[in-house]
Every structure is written in C-alpha cells, then in structure tokens.
Structure 1
Amino acid sequence: MAIDLRIIEGEYLRDLLDQPQALENTLQSLDRPKELLTLAARLQRKKFQRIVLTGMGSSFHALHPLNLQLIGHGFTAIMVETSELVHYKTRFFDPKTLIVAVSQSGQSVEMLRLAEVNGKRSSVIAVTNTPDSPLGKHATAALCTHAGQEFSVSCKTYVAALMALKWLGDILCQRDARQSRRELKHAPGAVAAYLADWKDYVHQLAERLNCARHLFLVGRGASLAAVGTGALIVKESDHFHAEGMSSAAFRHGPMEMLSEETFVVVFSGDDPTRKLNHRLLADIQQEGGRAELVGETAALNCFRLADHSSSIRPILEILPIQMITLALAARVGREPGKFERATKVTTTE
C-alpha cells in the first residue's frame, strides 16, 4: 500500500523523534536529593508498611516495572489509579504509607484531589515533568524529568518517566547509583538507533496492518507498561480500537475474536514468562490469527528490539507501538496525536 508520510510529519512526530534528547536530558539531571534519601532510609527501617504507586493514564502504566522491583525486594507495593485512591481507598492515607505519584503535568484534577485528601498524612514522592506544579509543591521529595514541552499524546514524557522511576526504584532498593547510571545511559542511544529507521517501519506496518480493525497488545510482567500505554496512545492518536491486557487474560475470552480483522502484538518480555508469551503467539498463529512478536527475536524489523538489560527494556518496548500510531494515521490520511475532544491536561473528574 502506497502511503504519503507528509500527513504525519507534525508536532507528534517531532516529539517522538525528540525522545533520545529527552532521555539524555533526564539522565543528566537525575540526582539523589536529601529528602528522597531520608524517605529511603525510613523505608529500610520499616517505618512504612506499604508503598502506594499512583497515577493516571500512561503515568499509571509506567509504574508496572517499579511495582515489580519493589515487590521483588520484599516491600509491600500496591498500584492504584489516583481516581480510585482519592475516593475509595482513602484509608491508605496515613503516616505508614509512602506514596509515589506520577504525573507529567503535576496538575491533573486527580493530583489536585490527592493533595487535598492527603494533606500531610502520607509522605509523597512525586515524579513529574513540571517541578513547580501543585504535585511538585505538595510532595515530600521529587524526581523531575526533563522531557521538555509535549504537544499532545504522551511519548517523550512517558519514556523519561520510566527512566526516572527506574532510578527511584534503585534508590529505594539501595542499588549502587553508579551501576544504575551505567545501565540507564544506554537508553538514549538505543532509542535513537531504533528511530533512525522510522520511515521504513511506518511503511512496513502500514502494509502489515491492512484490513485490521481491532488491535490487541498483550504481555506480562514489566511489559504491562507498554501494553497499557500502547493501547491508550493508539486510541488517542488514531481513534482506532485497541486493547491492552495480560497474555493470560487474552486466553480468557478475547481469543474468540481472532479473525482477519484482528491483529495481536505479543511482547516477549522477561525470562520468567517469555516461553509462555511465545507459546501464545504460536497458538494464535496456529488458529489462523494475525500476530507478531515484539522483542529481541522478533521476525519483523519494526518489532525487533536491541538486546539490552531489563533496566531499559520498558523504554524500548513502547517504540514499536509508537510506529503503529504513525502507520495507522498514514493509512487513513490523518494527522496523528491531534486531539479533537481531549486535552493535554485532564481538568475534570
């Protein structure tokens, strides 16, 4: 299928191509503020009974890798959408709870409500792109990304948040800061190397997604960050039906939707469940379904990830889905990422 790339060469694409710089700027700014180290020391001394991880949209999905890291280290970590936390789970607001709140703007309506409901009962660690925002001012400690201004759909703020959250997790789990920085420093270059071939990927995907009307993104573990965020940005960018869920959940019903009009993206993911994800891919294809793998051994170039440590894999995993947003837009001749009903900052509950 012949497509014209000029329609997609707007602000959203510029934000996508700016992701390596956003990551580099964030990496250079990462520090270990005194307030954060104090909270980490209190956590080690068991002064907190639980860590509540909260956000909305892609900020919420970005918390999946941190959630697993904290649980793996022995902490009690709970992911809760902020909209649910402030209305239905308010008993979490007490001095024994450490809250990690993620918000690009730091001023969405849910973050304003969190500050109001919490008062000063729980200590709050903010991860935000806007340090002087209401969330930044309310927080006990903050890590700031340096992604710059973003046009609409979360992309460079999302990958920068993933980097900051990995840094935060390493601080809370008392990993060596030099090792953390060594791992994270590979992210800007790896993202730049992938994005160098974006035009080829868009053409490849525009052809591959022919006749697709339903898109499913499935994975396990830390890949749930890309699964959730990917489905969200496809809907936002392209007004195209997309669902994100665990690979296991896909077997519990959605398998019935396999057809020529359904396309499934399976994330290979980390070692513990990689074989299970590959088996799902094989089962879908055996049933005549359309599916492709995202990972280091993917068949398609656009879905193949460079072989790096698990520290930066969540950052790399979102890139092929960003290419899908461009391809879907190019297929129908619309500018991707241009909001018609939504706004960059959600101000209504």
Structure 2
Amino acid sequence: MSRLHAETAEQPAAVARLLERVVPNLSTLRRELWRDDVSSIVLVARGSSDNAARYAQYLFGIEHRLPVALATPSLGSIYGVEPDFRQALVVAVSQSGQSPDVVGVLDAARRQGRPALAITNDPDSPLADAATCVLELGAGPERSVAATKTYTTSLTALALVAVAGLDTGRRRERLADLGLLPDVLETVLGLDTGAAAAGLSEVEHLLVAGRGLNYATAFEAALKIRELSGVVAEAFSPPDLLHGPIGAVSSGAAALLIAPSEPSLAGVAALAAPLRERGARLAVLSADASLLAVADVPLRLPREPADWLTPVTTIVPAQRLASALAADRGRDLDAPEGLTKVTRTR
C-alpha cells in the first residue's frame, strides 16, 4: 500500500483524536481568540491550507456574520507593507508551519496585539512560534506529498474555532454534529472510485465546480487531481463559470460537479444542463438522486454529515478519485514529479 492510501485511510481516526483533544478545551479557545473587540477575521494560508481557509470564509461568515478575508502575504514579503489588523482575529493554517510569508502575517498580527492563531501539524514550527495561540492538528506524520489527513483535520480545526465562538445553545448543537464526523468519514472511505476513474481515463482537462461551503472542496479536488494525476483540473464556482469561462467547454470536455446536500446544491445542479448541451462528459459527486441520474460518471455519497460539515467528508472521495486516476496513469502516488512536501514561499 502506498503512503498516500494509508494516510487517506487514517482520516477518521485523525479527526476523532482532534475532537477528543480540543472539544474539552473550547472555553479556553473562546477566551483566547474571541475577544469582545473582534469585528473581522483574516485567514492566511497557501496550497491545500488555502483551500481549507476558503471553507472558513463561508463558515465564519455564516456562523458569526463577520466579514472574512483571505490575507495577501505578498503585501509584506514583496512590498514591505504590513496590514493594519485592528479588531481582527487572524488565523493562519499550515500543515508544516514553515512558509515564511504565512509566518510573517501571523507575526505582524501578534506584534499588533491581536489574537493570532496557528493551525498546524507541527507545534514546534516557526508559525507556532509566531502565534498567540496554537491549535495542533495532531494528525501524525504525513509523508506523502499530497495532503490528505492534514487537510481534513484543518477543516475540522477551523470548524472547532467557529464553534468555540458561539453561544452555549448553538455550541451544543454544533458539537453534536461534529461528534458524528469520524463515523461519516469511515463510511465515505468505502466509496469505490475505480469505475469513476475509468470513466475519466481519457480526460486531459477537467472542470471542477462547487459553491458556497463546498467552493473549497472544488479547489481542493482540482488540486489533488492535478498534482497526483497530471490532469489539468481547474476549479470554478457556477456563477463565475457562467460569466464567460463556460465558452471554452465543448465536445470532449469533462466536468466534475461537487454537490453534497447543503444549500449550494441547487446552484451546482443547475450547471448540468448547460454543460451537457455543450457536449461535456459529466461526473457528479453527490447524494442527490436526480442529479446523479444525469451523470455519465456518478459518484453517490453513501452518507453525509450536517450540511455545514459536508466539506470535511466530501473531499475524501475526491482524494480517492485523484489517486485512482494517478494509479491508472502510472504516476508515483507518494512523490509526484517535481513536487516536495514542504514549500517555503516568500
């Protein structure tokens, strides 16, 4: 078994350990992060962690009704400009905690006296050193280049941060939802993606669409497919796709719709007809029977969590699809050509 397959299979246990360790300490997390003067949230990350941050953009906005922004680390690392983080909660996500530009943003927030959270798998990293508060993923070593368990634990960690800031009643409801995550992850791991990979075997370009909370899933699925299999996969939200890029879709094109059971489902499902009209081969990852019925390549989600947690579980079949595509093409699952596990951007 490849390291990638082993690490993918470890995700239910990794999420369960994170929940067991962090949930009893949510009051401390609330006290350290959710100060009374917090009126905005700034997220900083790169790569897969940046996709996890896209999830948090929607989740924090939904749960806390605050403006949420993705930081631009190049402001500091290239232009020498330090943003004013007044009244902001600043959250950095990085599995390695090594990227200097991400560290620089968090360090600036800490120096300005703001709550600066590091979510990382390495509590001894430079990112952790720059933080006022560290939330360790505790996923264990992840040696395959493609992130799997550090991605799903990062999503779960961000969900825990959001829940920590809620009032007692809502927190209790959300914690009940979180408690089911490991079992749902175990179920979706059993989804066979081999037939879907065979159905996409000739694809060289793939459009991946997702919206809302699962806009993040579309980006992470596209990244996994691209880095593992070499297929040129590109992520879009349905509105952005319809505002011009769909013009490049014609016969021979292929699309993957990420459509779990959450409020964005209808917007993603509406893409099926225009994509089919243009001759695209359609793969669908969903539990919705009517949408799966129009797919050339259906991937039926066997079980789903509460809608706000669907990104944590929906990405797992996409990870497995990416690895199946890569295996079919004879690619090295653990060390894709030209890539390294830790990327230090400046």
Task: Please classify the TM superposition score into its range, dividing by the shorter chain length.
Answer: 0.7 to 0.9
State the Cα distance separating 1:116 from its structure 2 match. 5.0
State the Cα distance separating 1:88 from its structure 2 match. 5.7
Q: Residues 294-313 of structure 1 correspond to what in structure 2 (within 5 A)?
A: 294-297=285-288, 298-299=292-293, 302-313=299-310
State the Cα distance separating 1:315 from its structure 2 match. 0.9
Residues 27 and 164 in structure 2, CA contact (< 8 A), matched pair in contact too:
no
Match of 2:22 in 1: 30
Partner secondary structure for residue 308 of structure 2? coil
Counterpart-to-counterpart distance in 1, 2:77 and 2:32: 22
Counterpart-to-counterpart distance in 1, 2:189 and 2:345: 35
Instruction: Return 5+ residue gaps in structure 1 as ranges.
Output: 1-8
Match of 1:233 in 2: 224
Distance 1:270 1:178, change over 3 A: same
Residues 221 and 269 in structure 1, CA contact (< 8 A), matched pair in contact too:
no
Residues 303 and 320 in structure 1, CA contact (< 8 A), matched pair in contact too:
no
Residues 329 and 336 in structure 1, CA contact (< 8 A), matched pair in contact too:
yes
Choose from 2, 18, 22 the match for 1:10. Answer: 2
Identity of aligned residues (%): 27
Residues 146-205 of structure 1: CA distance to partner in whole angstroms, max 9, x if unpaired? 2111122111000011111111011123354443332112211111112224xx322x02
- Size of the alignment, in residue pairs? 335
State the Cα distance separating 1:35 from its structure 2 match. 5.4
Residues 247 and 266 in structure 1, CA contact (< 8 A), matched pair in contact too:
no
Residues 109 and 346 in structure 1, CA contact (< 8 A), matched pair in contact too:
no
Q: Residues 41-56 of structure 1 correspond to what in structure 2 (within 5 A)?
A: 41-42=34-35, 45=36, 47-56=37-46
Give the alignment's TM-score, normalised by structure 1: 0.87
State the Cα distance separating 1:331 from its structure 2 match. 1.9
Match of 2:280 in 1: 289
Residues 325 and 336 in structure 1, CA contact (< 8 A), matched pair in contact too:
no
Distance 1:193 1:76, change over 3 A: same
Counterpart-to-counterpart distance in 2, 1:339 and 1:248: 32
Tell me the amino acid that sits aligned with residue 175 of structure 2. R
State the Cα distance separating 1:118 from its structure 2 match. 4.4
Q: Residues 35-114 of structure 1 correspond to what in structure 2 (within 5 A)?
A: 36-42=29-35, 45=36, 47-72=37-62, 73-84=64-75, 87=78, 90-114=81-105
Tell me the amino acid that sits aligned with residue 194 of structure 1. V
Instruction: Return 5+ residue gaps in structure 2 as ranges.
Output: none
State the Cα distance separating 1:273 from its structure 2 match. 3.5
Partner secondary structure for residue 327 of structure 1? helix
State the Cα distance separating 1:251 from its structure 2 match. 1.6
Residues 15-55 of structure 1: CA distance to partner in whole angstroms, max 9, x if unpaired? 1111111111111111436653224452xx3x134211111
Counterpart-to-counterpart distance in 1, 2:248 and 2:92: 36
State the Cα distance separating 1:12 from its structure 2 match. 1.0
Deviates more, 1:172-181 or 1:330-339: 172-181
State the Cα distance separating 1:83 from its structure 2 match. 4.0
Match of 1:196 in 2: 190
Residues 211 and 261 in structure 1, CA contact (< 8 A), matched pair in contact too:
no
